[in-house]
């Protein structure tokens, strides 16, 4: 049967079955019963084999899915960490810039206030401000 198409093989199996059926009818019921038992036994063995293969494949797929899920979770964790680090750095830069801006504004406001005080009162104004 090597090199034959599935259709050719199926046709041969059908013909063999028809030949066996014809022999069984000609040979009596005993041969037919024997063929039925052997066919049922073969079907049972085939089902066990197929079920075992399905279980193997299912196990392999479940293992693969678990591994992919773990790798995906690790990737998301790394991405989350990178995002948190970048946001933290950006907020830190904003805080430093705001602090410098506030210091510069206070300094400018202090000088403006000191300049607004008449000359003779300058020393008293600085002392009063403290």
Rounded distance between C-alpha atoms, residue 46 and residue 62, angstroms: 24
Using one digit for the tens of pLDDT, what is the confidence trace for 5-38? 888 888 888 888 888 777 777 766 677 777 788 8
> Quick check: pTM over 0.75?
no
DSSP string, 75-89: HHHHHHHHHHHHHHH
Of residues 51 and 76, the one with the higher pLDDT is 76
């Amino acid at each position: 049967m090597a090199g034959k198409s599935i259709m050719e093989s199926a046709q041969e199996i059908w013909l063999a079955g028809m030949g066996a059926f014809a022999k069984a009818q000609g040979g009596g019921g005993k041969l037919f019963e024997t063929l039925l038992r052997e066919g049922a036994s073969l079907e049972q063995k085939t089902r066990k084999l197929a079920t075992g293969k399905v279980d193997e494949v299912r196990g392999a797929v479940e293992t693969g899915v678990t591994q992919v899920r773990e790798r995906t979770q690790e990737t998301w964790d790394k991405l989350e960490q990178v995002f948190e680090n970048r946001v933290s750095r950006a907020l830190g830069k904003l805080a430093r810039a705001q602090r410098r801006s506030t210091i510069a504004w206070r300094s400018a406001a202090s000088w403006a206030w000191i300049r607004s005080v008449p000359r003779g009162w300058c020393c008293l104004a600085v002392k009063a401000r403290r």
